[in-house]
Amino acid sequence: MKPPVWKITLVLAIAVLAVSTAAILSRLAFDAGGTRAVGFSLMLAASRITLASLILLPTWRNLKLSEQSPEAIRYSIGAGVLLALHFAGWITSLAYTSIAASTTLVTTNPVWISLFSWIWFREKISWTSAGGIAIALAGGLLIGFGDAGGGDSGSNPLLGNVLALMAAWAASLYLLLAREAQRKGISLGGYMAIAYSTAALVLLPIPPFFGGSYAGHPSLVYLYILLMAIVPQSIGHTGFNWAVLWMSPTLVSLSILFEPVGASFLGYLLFGEIPPIQVFAGAVVLLAGVAVVAIAHNSDTKSA
């Protein structure tokens, strides 16, 4: 039986609030650790995805690899590699650029999914989607040039923005591989177990090569890592996965666009972070473009 609308809306609101804490918890971990070095960023990314994969351990009991198609397993493993790149790039971006810029750029998935689907699967892009992509790219340029001056935005805003954008590309390809894996017959839980475990295995050995260490940090760092795995990962993403069962995927994807709003507001409250006005203007333009693409994609899917 379908839950009441108020319950679905409440779960979706909690999910948006939960994912909005991801950037904040990462920044708090940087402050607690007293460093924003690449090795430390990679340690945070590896620890977060490893804890998330451990939470999914019970799923392995119901996953029989021998019954899965080789294609589904390959797609799931490939998605895990991309998920590792996504977390590594995005969390590292927060060491260099503003929370507003990073979270806005990393939530541009609908734009890149449309482009990659056209390149990879030859799925047509409607004129409406093309217009939305152009608007989003204009917003991205505003953010890039608006942040380029530095100031309070971060130590190297341009680098941080590029990393956030690359993280969005990785996340978009991750979602496309997720779709292909499930089309080959694997369950959502089975896919997530393989993808998360792969991401953890890819990231775990990397931090030491960049001077990072898993030991010797203040206890607050480990607390923030645990909270990252529980709040944005388990509560936030689980909430979205549940809501999409009862609500239009377009509405769910559009609700995710509130993550930069929530994260920016929390960034102001906790860190007094106020990015340049061009960044806010670019964020509004970019999110408007992403919304147009998401709505157009949903219309194209229904008419296909």
> How many Å separate Cα 176 from the centre of its chain?
14
Mean pLDDT of 78-86: 95
- Higher per-residue confidence, 189 vs 226: 226
- This prediction's pTM: 0.85
Q: What residues have CB less than 8 Å from 40, skipping those under 6 apart? A: 30, 33, 207, 212
pLDDT in tens, 120-165: 877 777 888 888 888 888 887 777 666 555 544 567 888 999 999 9
The closest alpha carbon to 14, from 240, 287, 230, belongs to 240
User: Among 236, 191, 207, which residue's Cα sits nearest to residue 53?
Assistant: 191
Concatenated DSSP letters of 252-283: HHHHHTTHHHHHHHHHHHHH-----HHHHHHH
pLDDT tier, 51 (very low <50, low <70, confident <90, very high otherwise): very high
What single DSSP character describes residue 216?
S
Could you read off the pLDDT of 180-195 as tens digits, one per residue? Answer: 888 888 887 888 889 9
Nearest CA-CA partner of 15 in 240, 213, 226: 240
Note the pLDDT of residue 249: 62
CB 171 within 8 A of CB 109: yes
Q: Across the chain, what does the average pLDDT equal?
A: 85
Q: What is the CA radius of gyration of the chain?
A: 19
Q: State the first-to-last Cα distance of the chain, in angstroms, to the nearest integer.
A: 28
Residue 225 has pLDDT above 50, yes or no: yes
Q: How confident is the model at residue 119 (pLDDT cuts 50, 70, 90)?
A: confident
**High-pLDDT (> 90) share of the chain, %:** 36
Domain extents for the chain? Answer: 5-303
Q: What is the pLDDT of residues 13-44, one digit of tens each?
A: 899 899 999 999 999 999 999 999 999 999 99
